[in-house]
Amino acid sequence: MSDNGFVVGVDIGGTKTTVALLDERDGILCERVEPTSRADFDESQQGSQRILNQVISLINKVCDVSGIALSDVSGIGNGVAGTIDFKSGTVIFSPNLPFRNFGFKDAMYQHFKIPIFLDNDANVAVWGEKCFGAGRNASEIVGVTIGTGIGGGLIINDKIYRGAVGCAAEIGHMIIDRNGPRCGCGNYGCFEAMAAGSAIAKKARAVIAKKPDALILKMAGGNIDKVNGESLVLAAAEGDELALGVLREIGEIIGVAFTSLVNIFNPEVIIVGGGVAETGDLILNFAEDIVRNYAIKPNSEIVKIVKAELGNKAGFMGAASLIRKEIESYND
């Protein structure tokens, strides 16, 4: 195993996969992003292998571009959107990807023969924010990523909390309303089904259906299929009441979920990443109002709700940092 400090960080999300090569100071030597290989969404070993092959190809690319031999890479850290059995290195289930009981860690090791780290994508992202971003000065952190889906990560006493087998912090699958819409996990009324990107777009389109001349549609270029959080925020910035109403509804749902998290974990900070955080402050302002009014004191008074600082880099940087920690533990 090489000890020169080069590591690879991998972030496999529902829509895109990012792979980066980092040096011994966590400087990014090369980064590559591609749409996640999904093809016909084949929920089988073949579908899972297709994504694994894509990751392997991207790792080869970042090394080639950087002029670094694979033999000089000390380890590979991976974050995958899905439920992870941390002890076995298995992706048990992913609502937005074909992984079903796929031995990802072992398959990666069989190919590269170097230390491999695997965790949930939200766990590695919140760890990245703790090490390099918005959570640098906190030891009790809840991380929430709201994008294609909703992921969660917990840091308790400066350590990632994974639960009995590594499946803790499935925040997106807290049930907010058991009579709510069906989620990709099969349940109804999950946080993800009610406030992720597709839910936001669905609520906006329902509004437009009743008012075809809505400013929201204009901000989407007149194409209802392109209506999303960004077009809502643009319309809201113009004072559009319909857009503000949708954003308020989504913000209040997020606030209800955050209130439960604040009451249960008493975090110093909730770090919010993903597309919702990137669309502006309105949704999070509505969410914070709910937390301040409904979470118990003193929890509600000390918690800060902040945007993630690293953007799309949080996942692979956290994964790289975690494989580095694992390598160091081998050497101790």
The whole-model pTM stands at 0.88
CB atoms within 10 A of CB 6: 21
DSSP for residue 279: T
Q: How far apart are CA 193 and CA 204, in angstroms?
A: 15
Q: Is the dihedral of CA 91, 92, 97, 103 positive or negative?
A: positive
Q: How far apart are CA 176 and CA 266, in angstroms?
A: 19
Type of residue numbered 149: G
Segment 145-166 shows an average pLDDT of 89
Type of residue numbered 236: A
The pLDDT tens digits of the residues spanning 114-132 come to 999 999 898 999 999 999 9
Angle at 127 between CA 125 and CA 133, to 5 degrees: 85
**Predicted confidence (pLDDT) at residue 254 exceeds the cutoff of 60:** yes
**Predicted confidence (pLDDT) at residue 172 exceeds the cutoff of 60:** yes
Residues 6+ apart with CB under 8 A from 139: 155, 157, 158, 268
Q: How far apart are CA 124 and CA 31, in angstroms?
A: 17
**Which domains, ranges and CATH numbers included, belong to the chain?**
6-127+312-331 (3.30.420.40), 138-307 (3.30.420.40)
**Predicted confidence (pLDDT) at residue 323 exceeds the cutoff of 90:** yes
Is the peptide bond between 212 and the residue preceding it cis, with omega within 30 degrees of 0?
A: no
Mean pLDDT of the chain: 91
Q: With the CA atoms of 291, 296, 299 and 304 taken in that order, what torsion angle do they form, in degrees rounded to the nearest 10?
A: 10
Is the peptide bond between 181 and the residue preceding it cis, with omega within 30 degrees of 0?
A: no
Q: At 194, list the tokens.
A: 């009610």
CB atoms within 10 A of CB 165: 14
Query: Tell me, what's the pLDDT at 44?
Result: 64
The pLDDT tens digits of the residues spanning 101-117 come to 999 999 999 999 999 99
Type of residue numbered 227: V
The pLDDT tens digits of the residues spanning 24-77 come to 999 999 999 999 886 555 566 788 999 999 999 999 999 999 999 999 999 999
